[in-house]
Each structure stands twice: as C-alpha cells, then as structure tokens.
Amino acid sequence: MSFYVTTPIYYVNAQPHLGHAYTTIAADILARHRRQRGEEVFFLTGTDEHGEPVAQVAEREGVSPAELADRNVVHFKRMVEALNCTNDFFIRTTDSEHEAGVQRFMQGLYDRGEIYEGTYEGWYCPNCADFKTDQEILDGNLCPIHRIPLEWVKEDNYFFKLSAYQERLERLYAERPGFIAPGIRYNEALSFITGGLQDVSVSRPNLEWGVTVPWDTNQVFYVWFDALLNYYTALEYGTGEDVRDRFWPPDVQIIGKDILKFHAVFWPAMLMAGELELPEQIFIHGFLLMQGEKMSKTLGNVLDPFLVIDLFGVDALRYYCFREVSFGQDGSISTEGFEARYNTELANDYGNLASRTIAMIDRYRGGTVPEAAPPAELMEDFAGLRETVAAHLDKVELSFALEEIWKRVRRLNQFVEQRAPWNLAKDDGSAALLDETLYGLAEGLRVVSVLLHAYIPDAAGKALAALGVAPADAPPLDDVEFGARPGGSEVERIPPLFPRIEAIETAPSQTGAG
Ligand code: MSP
C-alpha cells in the first residue's frame, strides 16, 4: 500500500504564519498515521515562488524576486522542521526540474490543442493571483479575500479550454462524491461548475518572474498553473528517482477553502487534459480565525508559529489546532484557549496520567509492570478503538479521531480514581487487584500513546519509552490491542510531559499519587 499526501505550496512573499503551519501539521498527522499502518508514504510540502504575489513584495522591498524567495524559503523550511514534520520532500517551484516539468506538461496541452491564444479583460487581485468575476467583488472593486482594490487588466495571453471540461467535471462529481470533502465544499465546487465554466488564462505577458512559456518566450505561465503542477513534478525528481509509478495519483490533498476553485475545478480539468489520473480526494479545511477574522498576513492578525512553539512546545501546537477547531470548519483560536487546553488536557489529562502511572508502578511494584489479566471494564472501553481512529483518519476527520483517543485518556484517569491504587497498596489482600490496576493503566497508557504518536510524537514517544517500549519513528498500529503486551517490562520515571504553564498555576490540582 502506498499513500501520497500533499499540502498547498506556500507563497514566499512573507513569513510563515499559523495558518500555514495548520495545513502542514494536518498532512503530517496523516503521513505519520499511515506509516504506523505500515504503508509506504510520500508527504510533500513546499513553496510557491513565482508570480505576482512574490514579485510585488520583492519590488517593494527593493530586492529581486529570486533574492526574496531565497531569503524567505528558509523560514518555511525552518517551520516545517520546527513543527516536527516528516515530509519526504520540500519542493520549490524555482527548482529547475520543476520548471522543466511544467514546460513539458504545458507544451503537451498546447500541442494537443487544449491551449489557444486570446485576450483577457477583467478584474485581477495581485495577492490572490486570481481573476475575479463581478459577482465575487466587494464594494465595486475590492478583493473579497484581501479587501484591497482590484486591478482592471486587459492583456493578450494563452487560454486553457476549461469550458470544454464542464461535462466531464460534472460526471466526475456525480461518479465520485468523495472527490471533494467535506460535503459543503463539494456542493460549492459543483455549483461553480454547473454555473458555467469559462476558459482561463494560463499565461501572463509583461511579467518576468515565472516559468517561460516554451512556445512564446515573451510570456510566463500564470502562477497557478505552474504551482498546481508541483504535485506531479515533485514525484519525478524529489527523491532523486522517479517515483510516479509508486505514488501517483495523490491519495489526499489538503488545502484551505481559499483555494478551492483552483484545486476542485482547474486541477482535475488540467489532469484530464494531460491524461493523468486524478487525485483520490481533495480535503478542504476551514480558516483559523483570530478575533473573528481569517488569520492572514494582509489583515495583519497572524500568530507566529515559532513563538507558539517557544511558549507551549511543538506537541502542544500540533494538538491544540485539531482540538480547538473541528477540522474542516472555521474556528477561533487564541492564546487563552491555548493555555486552557494545555493545562487541562495536555498537562492534567495526559501528562498526569503518564506521570502517575509510571510513578505508581515504580513505587508499588519496584518499577516492573505487573503480570496480570487486563481489567474487563477497560477491555470493553478500548475495544475497536484502533479501527475507529483509523476510519476517522481515512476520512481526514482529524478532530473526531483525536476526540476518540481523548475519551480513553479521560477514561483511564477515571479508572485511577475509581480503583484508588494508593488505598489498594495499603492492604496486602488487595495485591492482585493492584497488579491488575497497574497493568491496566500501563496498557491503557501504551495504547493511547501509540495512537497519539501521529499527533504529539515527542510526548507520546517519551511515554512509550518510559513504559519500556522499543523506540520507533512510527510505532506500529498493529500493536494497538489493549492487553496484547504482557507485563514484566521495566518502567522509567520521566519528568512531566507537559510542565504546567506558570500563568495559570492556580488551577486545581489532581488528587492521588504521582
Ligand atoms: N501558493 C498558493 C497555493 C498554491 S497550491 C498549488 C497559496 N499560498 S498561501 O501562502 O496563500 O497559502 C494558502 C494556504 O495556507 C491555505 O490554503 C491554507 O492551507 C493555509 N492558510 C493560510 N491562512 C490560513 C488560515 N487563516 N487558516 C487556515 N489555513 C490557512 O495560496
């Protein structure tokens, strides 16, 4: 089994913000989870370096677009690393192999008569690098996304015969209702298609920063056509060998709802024109909002992922985004929300569960997980958990999967309180019950940690190591069977996985041993 997952490639015209981190983490969670299932994974992310969004900022800053890209790409690469992401390649659209791949693909369309010469006239947003229809624009001439004045452009360029694909796209949507998810986005894209498709510009004259049109060197490709093809060209050269046979087409392409039209309409039509297989699924998530507005560099309300990582740690960021906002929908985030979930869920629910489980095994059983039968009530609560989590993740339901795991984390804490091992330890007659309790906790902690590994790899890895589980980059999901690992292993005390954050140190502390 192979699994190919992609993120959008981000414009290098500014520093990365939490919105970019969000999509990248989502793809990483899926990539890690699939590796845990034993699948061969290719996870792609990267930067979109051509076109007006980059050229304009470069001009404003008095540097060449190439210099700006070289300067900013560093931050995006650093972000991916700081997020603990396991991408197999980081594509830059200025890679010469990518540029050559774009030229080959587009020349093929031109040779087959899919592209023709024409004149475009209409509104254009340089930040979106997108043409806007009269229905889309705000207050006469404002971009609905960036709220900046649109430009009226009239230019000679080349067009792709998108209109010729209307019927085939409608058929695709009818035959494959899962092609675009969630359903609300499927409906949105379908109504865009049934509303009537016009041919689209694939090139821009008067722009130098882009991939040269091979049959007319006075033009460069419109940045979106160059950018979308990254998903294909990367497989040709990213790992030093051509892995298209193994990984094409993508299984899941994750994007934000701002770029739905390009991915749900242009992209499949281009692939049809190029006679390539279509992706299995494009999953569209919502916006992270700050103070009720989309977080965006243009609106200036962005959270810096590096700062968040410094404050809370990378696992906390990876966790919070999918917990606070149901993946797929829009949702507000805030530093207060971060602190609250960090303390109540990561520090208390999970961190404390790990600390006290290890500490009690250490204190009451000399550091060895007792041999015992798994407690029946926990067996019941954990039955089918792996399948449930995997089924949610197959549907890219990152928040639902996490909620299922978290229910078990809470269940284990409840179990500690119910069994009160610190009382059992006082009574020799309860030794067998204490064994069963500690064994059940060790197993529960192990199972949730393997499942959480895709979300919070550092902390889950530490918890597993503390339980004496052999270290692994992708702890196999096959092992996620409550009661499958016998007792007998040595545990090791660890410092708190999520040390409490000073600011709200006054929150009530948990009772019990630990
Ligand atoms: N370069 C194009 C994409 C080309 S893909 C072939 C682009 N780049 S971008 O830098 O503007 O990044 C857009 C993407 O960043 C969104 O689709 C989304 O994945 C992510 N996000 C940017 N802001 C976001 C939020 N406020 N909330 C959630 N995701 C956000 O468009």
Give the ligand 1 atom nearest the CA of 227. Answer: 6
Q: What is the rounded radius of gyration, in angstroms, for the C-alpha atoms of the chain?
A: 26
**503: confidence class by pLDDT, cuts 50, 70, 90:** low
pLDDT > 90: what percent of the chain? 85
Q: How far is CA 494 from the centre of its chain?
A: 30
CA of 367 to the centre of ligand 1 (A): 48
The answer to whether the CB of 19 is under 6 A from ligand 1 is yes
pLDDT at 506: 37
pTM for the model = 0.94
- Exactly one of 128, 285, 321, 392 is catalytic; name it: 128
Taking 50 as the threshold, does the pLDDT of residue 274 lie above it?
Answer: yes
Q: How far apart are CA 400 and CA 53, in angstroms?
A: 36
Give the ligand 1 atom nearest the CA of 10. Answer: 10
Which residue, judged by its Cα, is nearest atom 22 of ligand 1?
A: 19
The answer to whether the CB of 394 is under 6 A from ligand 1 is no
How many CB atoms are located within 10 Å of the residue 383 CB?
12
- Residue 156 in contact with residue 199, Cβ under 8 Å? no
- The whole-number average pLDDT for the span 349-374 is 98
Q: How far apart are CA 290 and CA 296, in angstroms?
A: 9
Taking 80 as the threshold, does the pLDDT of residue 511 lie above it?
Answer: no
Give the ligand 1 atom nearest the CA of 286. Answer: 28
Q: How far apart are CA 223 and CA 50, in angstroms?
A: 6
- Exactly one of 50, 85, 143, 453 is catalytic; name it: 143
CA of 487 to the centre of ligand 1 (A): 47
- The whole-number average pLDDT for the span 409-436 is 97
pLDDT at 293: 82
Does 257 participate in catalysis according to the annotation?
no
- The whole-number average pLDDT for the span 424-429 is 96
pLDDT at 291: 80
Does 321 participate in catalysis according to the annotation?
no
pLDDT at 508: 38
Arithmetic mean of pLDDT over the chain:
94
Supply the CATH classification number for the domain 334-466.
1.10.730.10
**295: confidence class by pLDDT, cuts 50, 70, 90:** confident
- Exactly one of 77, 146, 161, 257 is catalytic; name it: 146
Q: How far apart are CA 190 and CA 145, in angstroms?
A: 21
Q: How far apart are CA 108 and CA 98, in angstroms?
A: 15
CA of 505 to the centre of ligand 1 (A): 36
pLDDT in tens, 302-315: 788 999 899 899 99
Q: How far apart are CA 494 and CA 355, in angstroms?
A: 7
- The whole-number average pLDDT for the span 480-490 is 96
Taking 60 as the threshold, does the pLDDT of residue 342 lie above it?
Answer: yes
Pocket test for ligand 1, best of 5, 6, 7, 11 (most atoms within 8 A of CB): 11
- The whole-number average pLDDT for the span 115-135 is 88
CATH code matching the domain that covers 2-302, chosen among 3.40.50.10490, 3.30.1490.20, 3.40.50.620, 3.40.50.1580 = 3.40.50.620
Backbone angles phi, psi at 217, to 5 degrees: -75, 0
The answer to whether the CB of 256 is under 6 A from ligand 1 is yes
The burial class, CB within 10 Å (0-12 / 13-18 / 19+), for 310 is exposed
Q: Which among 17, 8, 5, 148 is positioned nearest to 79, based on CA atoms?
A: 17
CA of 406 to the centre of ligand 1 (A): 29
Instruction: Say which amino acid occupies 428.
Output: D
The answer to whether the CB of 27 is under 6 A from ligand 1 is no
Does 85 participate in catalysis according to the annotation?
no
- Exactly one of 33, 263, 297, 453 is catalytic; name it: 297
Taking 60 as the threshold, does the pLDDT of residue 280 lie above it?
Answer: yes
The answer to whether the CB of 48 is under 6 A from ligand 1 is yes
pLDDT in tens, 177-229: 999 999 999 999 999 999 999 999 999 987 889 999 999 999 999 999 999 99
The answer to whether the CB of 10 is under 6 A from ligand 1 is yes
- The whole-number average pLDDT for the span 307-332 is 95
Helix ranges (H only) for 51-182 are 52-61, 65-82, 96-111, 166-175
| 207 vs 154, higher pLDDT | 154
Taking 90 as the threshold, does the pLDDT of residue 231 lie above it?
Answer: yes
pLDDT in tens, 438-482: 999 999 999 999 999 999 999 999 999 999 999 999 999 998 999
- Where in the chain are the domains? 2-302, 334-466
Does 125 participate in catalysis according to the annotation?
yes
- Hey, what are 215's tokens? 């049959």
pLDDT in tens, 25-63: 999 999 999 999 999 999 999 999 998 889 999 999 999
How many CB atoms are located within 10 Å of the residue 240 CB?
7
pLDDT at 336: 87
Taking 90 as the threshold, does the pLDDT of residue 170 lie above it?
Answer: yes
The answer to whether the CB of 351 is under 6 A from ligand 1 is no
- Exactly one of 17, 75, 453, 462 is catalytic; name it: 17
pLDDT at 349: 98
Which residue, judged by its Cα, is nearest atom 25 of ligand 1?
A: 19
pLDDT > 70: what percent of the chain? 97
